[in-house]
Homo-oligomer: A and B are copies of this chain.
Amino acid sequence: MKLLEPFGAEFDLKSGVMQSAKHLIQRHLSDMRGMYADVAAENALLEANNPMIYEVYTSEVPEEAGQVLYCTTVIHPGRVGDEYFMTKGHFHSLRDRGEIYLGLSGEGYLLLQTEEGEPRAVAMHPGTAAYVPPYWAHRTVNVGKEPFVFFAAWPGDSGHDYGTIEKMGFPQILVSRGDKPALVKNPRFVSGAD
């Protein structure tokens, strides 16, 4: 049996930038149309400069059972209307696979939901290990003024199901109220249980 070779990948713990990243995913606002609550603000931003929302530096680990995939994610600071920049969010294709996040710099939130639309939120600071148990969809949000950077690791055979979230949204969104983050109901949420 040919074994995979051990290897090290260097990245900056504060900026999240990985020097040897094999794949850099960059999501602009146009890659997540319809995910923010304020449609008018979204359209105005798309016309103005279609901002980069987040970047993901991924490793070169094969997507196979037994492997542990990892990445660093950088969510830039900013808002669409009063809603903070966030990731698309997803369930794992294999629903019973968990994930661990480690906050490295900046201030954020991990938002979660079950398939029935039961919501949860975990605040993340540098040094917060935020656990996504199996079966929970997960999205991260930057509620600070600096980039929000975190490390993530998950089982190699998890897969990503973005489609369900594109249809449902998340039950809660994070908006700025008096310059502080507030968790409020998402007016565009479509419960999967309905």
Using a CB–CB cutoff of 8 Å, the interface residues on chain A facing chain B are 1, 3-13, 18, 59, 61, 65-68, 70, 94, 96-100, 102, 104, 110, 112, 114, 120, 122-136, 151, 153-156
- Does B4 lie within 8 Å of A130, measured CB to CB? no
In the complex, besides A59-B131, A66-B94, A68-B68, 11 extra interface pairs with C-beta distance below 8 angstroms are: A3-B136, A6-B131, A8-B131, A11-B127, A13-B126, A18-B129, A67-B133, A67-B134, A68-B131, A70-B102, A70-B153
20 contacts between A and B (CB under 8 A): A3-B114, A3-B134, A3-B135, A4-B134, A6-B130, A7-B122, A8-B123, A8-B128, A9-B129, A9-B131, A10-B129, A59-B129, A65-B96, A67-B98, A68-B68, A68-B131, A70-B102, A70-B131, A100-B153, A102-B102
- Cα distance, A132 to B67, chains bound together (Å): 9
**Contacts of A120 on B, CB cut-off 8 Å?**
5-6
CA distance A11 to B129 in the complex (A): 8
Query: What 5 A-B pairs are tightest by C-beta distance, nearest first?
Result: A4-B133, A153-B153, A66-B96, A8-B122, A66-B134
Of the candidates B132, B136, B156, the one whose C-beta lies within 8 Å of that of A98 is B156
- A3→B129 contact, CB < 8 A: no
Report Cα–Cα, A6/B120, bound state, in Å.
7
A61 touching B98 in the complex, CB below 8 Å, given contacts A7-B131, A10-B125, A131-B8: yes
Separation of A68 and B67 alpha carbons in the complex (Å): 12
CB-nearest residue of chain B relative to A155? Answer: B155
User: Contact between B133 and A3 (Cβ–Cβ < 8 Å)?
Assistant: yes
List the B side residues contacting A94 at CB < 8 Å. 66
How far is the CB of A10 from the nearest CB of chain B, in Å? 6
